[in-house]
């Protein structure tokens, strides 16, 4: 998709488009609806993107973060702990559980070698640097 990389404005336009697309797909954000776990926030600057996701109760080993080109996919399984002894009677069950997979498209391609992910207190932070070849190159204009 062609878009001009002429400064900050176009950069944010890309995220606006992303948000509109997301809003179309997940119209009512009800956790538990297919495609809406985990909730995700995205921070960005010109050089990198930081994806944050709330994944309480998920084990780090069961969390999969994968990158292809300009998109990042978070997937895994959230199981809620249960007592094995005897009968279990639920009084309330509000926490969503199951398999999840969400793919976020980012406004630039990612340098997959230098991605850092850290998972603390149930919050995942993935830092994705922009791929070198995807950085804007300054073209000098010569006067004839």
Partner 1 sequence: MAEAVLERQEAREMEHTERTRNRRVFTPRVDIYETDDSVVMMVDMPGVSEEGVDIILEKNILTISGYTDDSRPENMSLAYREYRVGDYERTFALSEEVDRQGIEASMKNGVLKLVLPKAEEMKARRIEVKATG
Using CB under 8 A, list all residues that contact partner 1: 12, 15, 18-19, 22, 29, 31, 36, 39-45, 49-50, 54-59, 80-83, 85-96, 119, 121-123
Q: How far is the CB of 56 from partner 1 (least distance, A)?
A: 4
Q: How far is the CB of 102 from partner 1 (least distance, A)?
A: 10
Supply the minimum distance, in Å, between the C-beta of residue 120 and partner 1: 8
Residues 80, 119, 61, 70: what is their CA dihedral angle, to the nearest 10 degrees? Answer: 110
Q: By C-alpha distance, which of 141, 91, 134 is closest to 109?
A: 134
- What gap in Å lies between CA 114 and CA 53, rounded to an integer? 19
Nearer to partner 1, 7 or 57 (CB): 57
Is residue 99 within 8 A of residue 79, CB to CB? The reply is no
Q: Which is nearer to partner 1, 59 or 64 (CB)?
A: 59
């Amino acid at each position: 998709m062609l878009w001009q990389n002429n400064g900050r404005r176009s950069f944010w336009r890309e995220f606006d488009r992303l948000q509109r697309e997301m809003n179309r797909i997940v119209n009512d954000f009800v956790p538990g609806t297919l495609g809406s776990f985990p909730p995700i926030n995205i921070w960005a600057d010109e050089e990198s993107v930081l994806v944050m996701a709330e994944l309480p109760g998920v084990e780090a080993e069961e969390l999969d973060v994968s990158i292809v080109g300009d998109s990042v996919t978070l997937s895994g399984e959230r199981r809620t702990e249960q007592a094995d002894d005897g009968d279990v009677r639920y009084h309330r069950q509000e926490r969503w559980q199951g398999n999840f997979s969400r793919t976020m498209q980012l406004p630039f391609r990612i340098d997959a070698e230098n991605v850092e992910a850290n998972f603390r207190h149930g919050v995942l932070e993935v830092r994705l640097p922009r791929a070198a070849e995807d950085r804007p190159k300054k073209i000098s204009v010569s006067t004839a």
